[in-house]
Amino acid sequence: MQTELYDVIIVGGGPAGSSAALYTSRAALRTLVIDKDPHAGALGMAHSIANYPGVPDALTGMQLLELMKRQAVSFGALYLRDKVTGIDPEGPEKTVFTVSGKFYRAKSLILATGAMGKSSEIPGEKKLVGLGVSYCATCDAAFYKGRVVAVYGKNREAVEEALVLCRFASKVMLLCPGGKLAVREDEAELLNKAENVEIRYHSKVLSVNGERGVESLTLEGVADPLPVEGFFIYLSGSSPVLDFIGGLLEISGCGCLKVDREFATSAPGVFAAGDMLCKEIKQAVIVAAEGCHAALYAGRFLRGTLKPKSDYN
């Protein structure tokens, strides 16, 4: 059975994929976006987005995604709800396979499946996401002005985010699961200089408690719950969603998809954008810009004007 041949298939309809779809469809490229579930993406889970340029009134991540999708659809992009299970990225016609048993063909692909969170969950965490549990101080610190919050983790991200929070919160407790922070001494020293940061080593959070918002944390070996209004978790970070790639594209040593300066992967005509790529800072505006880049370079590829491969990053 021969299926329709799209100019571009975009895998993932988060901010990276939808921004790419906006640009490819606006360029009159036949665009299909395949997304398994917008609620399952990072932006779809975000309770309140107040830092997306041009959107002054805070929206939920889902509302922002819906606006992005509406704009792309208005230029002709088609959205399909299905989970991509595999790709064939070789040759002039690429194939995308889905869990429903169907397959789709395109002259180019843009992959934008994001990164998924850690698998282990603290009791109470899921119920209170967006109600005091957060994974992004850069996004949410301003909501905690004058409040007591806890940061849980020992990595660089936890330290960075504690330093962001201490400019807003009245007190930041950095709960370190081990006896040492996994950062350089000079980075740890910055925390010591911040008057409202207290580091508690060997802290294991057993549960996050509260009904309509975070009220306290239960710590191992501590009788009384620790009262906090915000709980920022940085335990093991998130890993790029690459399972459907099946080793067919080059992956970096850090486990993210490799692209060059044109957002091109190791297979000609296959581009990628968003949190599935290596990055230190994960923000919607950054991945939307990457989606734009990937779309414009995919357009050049389709016109035959893409420059020869540049270095990967």
Ligand X SMILES: Cc1cc2nc3c(=O)[nH]c(=O)nc-3n(C[C@H](O)[C@H](O)[C@H](O)COP(=O)(O)OP(=O)(O)OC[C@H]3O[C@@H](n4cnc5c(N)ncnc54)[C@H](O)[C@@H]3O)c2cc1C
Q: Which two tokens stand for residue 42?
A: 């990072």
Choose, by CB under 6 A, the member of 75, 283, 296, 312 that binds ligand X. 283
The question of whether 136 is a catalytic residue gets the answer yes
Scanning residues 162 to 201, which ones bind ligand X (CB under 6 A)? none
DSSP state of 156: H
Output the residue with the shortest Cβ distance to ligand X.
14
Give the whole-angstrom CA distance, residue 151 versus residue 212.
Answer: 20
The question of whether 166 is a catalytic residue gets the answer no
Give the whole-angstrom CA distance, residue 36 versus residue 164.
Answer: 34
Give the whole-angstrom CA distance, residue 182 versus residue 155.
Answer: 5
Give the whole-angstrom CA distance, residue 10 versus residue 221.
Answer: 49
Per CB under 6 A, 14 contacts ligand X: yes
Which of 86, 108, 107 lies closest to 96, judged by CA? 86
Give the whole-angstrom CA distance, residue 44 versus residue 105.
Answer: 27
Scanning residues 95 to 124, which ones bind ligand X (CB under 6 A)? 112-114
Q: Measured from the CB of residue 220, what is the shortest distance to ligand X in angstroms? A: 25
Q: Which is nearer to ligand X, 118 or 184 (CB)?
A: 118
* Rg for the chain, CA atoms, rounded: 21
Q: Which two tokens stand for residue 279?
A: 């990055």
Per CB under 6 A, 282 contacts ligand X: yes
Phi/psi of residue 209, nearest 5 degrees: -115, 150
Per CB under 6 A, 13 contacts ligand X: yes
Q: Measured from the CB of residue 82, what is the shortest distance to ligand X in angstroms? A: 7
The question of whether 139 is a catalytic residue gets the answer yes
Scanning residues 32 to 51, which ones bind ligand X (CB under 6 A)? 34-38, 40-46, 49, 51
Q: Measured from the CB of residue 201, what is the shortest distance to ligand X in angstroms? A: 27
Neighbouring CB atoms inside 10 A of 232's CB total: 29
- Window 210-249: contact mask with ligand X (x via CB under 6 A): -------------------------------x--x-----
Q: Which residues are catalytic?
A: 136, 139-140
* Binding positions for ligand X, rule: CB under 6 A: 11-17, 34-38, 40-46, 49, 51-52, 83-84, 112-114, 135-136, 139, 241, 244, 274-275, 282-285, 287
